[in-house]
Amino acid sequence: MARVIHVFRQPDRFVAGTVGQPGDRTFYLQARENVRTISVTVEKQQVEVLAERLASLLEEVASRFGADVPEEVPDDLVDTEPLDVPVEEEFRVGTMGLGWDAESKAVVIELLAITDTEVDEAVVLDDTEEGPDAVRVFLSPAAARAFASRADRVVNAGRKPCPLCGEPLDPAGHICPRQNGYRRDAEIADED
């Protein structure tokens, strides 16, 4: 079966978001253009890495290509709305690609479906007929900065870390290795 590549050249929205409570959240990346919306499932670490790599790419694009990259997110691009519903997973992301399209002066993000076989590097950001399904999104530098900022907020909106061991605290606390296996209550951690 031929691969499907969902291309969003001028998305109305591209965001990271979650469904569920802290400690039991499912992370999504969601693209919307006109009436078409695609949601893909990702790991929290993938969202974190994507935001970091986007920030690095924007710095490089500004210095190498002289692109106009805002330092801060423009107010009109701040997005605090929840994910569009219904959130229906198109696929789970295995490989991500990131690039700069000098012709359109856009950041290109490609999200490839997880597969049982190793993904050939030549498939990423390419229109080959063989390979995993993909979502390809083109973003202006300002929109990429806005995406990275929101992604950071989404990742950091989870459970607070234990001040002793750094592991996430559940609402009922957790068994802290720094306390020799004794339970550390969330209320006590808030007082620290």
- HSE-up (13 A, CA, CB side) for residue 147: 31
Q: Helix/strand/coil (H, E, C) string of 11-54? A: CCEEEEEEECCCCCCEEEEEEEECCEEEEEEECHHHHHHHHHHH
Note whether 123 and 131 are within 8 A (CB): yes
- Distance CA(124)–CA(77), nearest Å, equals 28
Q: Estimate the crossing angle of helix 44-65 against helix 141-156, to 10 degrees.
A: 150
Partners of 96 in the beta sheet?
A: 111
Tally of structural domains, the chain? 2
Q: Are residues 90 and 140 in the same domain?
A: yes
pTM: 0.83
Burial 91-124 (b: 16+ CB within 10 A, else e): bebbbbbbebeeeeebbbbbbbbeeeeebeeebb
Range of the domain at 88: 5-158
Q: Are residues 26 and 39 in the same domain?
A: yes
Q: Are residues 19 and 66 in the same domain?
A: yes
Give the pLDDT score at 185: 60
Q: Are residues 146 and 69 in the same domain?
A: yes
Q: Are residues 41 and 96 in the same domain?
A: yes
Rg (CA), the chain: 19
The CA-based dihedral angle spanning residues 137, 79, 48, 90, taken in that order and rounded to the nearest 10 degrees: -50
Q: Are residues 79 and 19 in the same domain?
A: yes
Type of residue at 48? E
Q: Are residues 13 and 55 in the same domain?
A: yes
- Distance CA(29)–CA(151), nearest Å, equals 9
Q: Are residues 98 and 33 in the same domain?
A: yes
Q: Are residues 154 and 165 in the same domain?
A: no
Q: Are residues 121 and 53 in the same domain?
A: yes
Q: Are residues 173 and 128 in the same domain?
A: no
Tens of pLDDT, residue by residue, the chain (192 residues):
578 999 999 999 999 999 998 878 999 999 999 999 999 999 999 999 999 999 999 999 999 988 888 888 989 999 999 999 999 999 999 999 999 999 999 999 999 999 887 777 776 777 778 889 999 999 999 999 999 999 999 998 877 777 878 777 776 777 777 776 555 565 544 444
CATH code at 27? 3.30.2450
Q: Are residues 170 and 152 in the same domain?
A: no
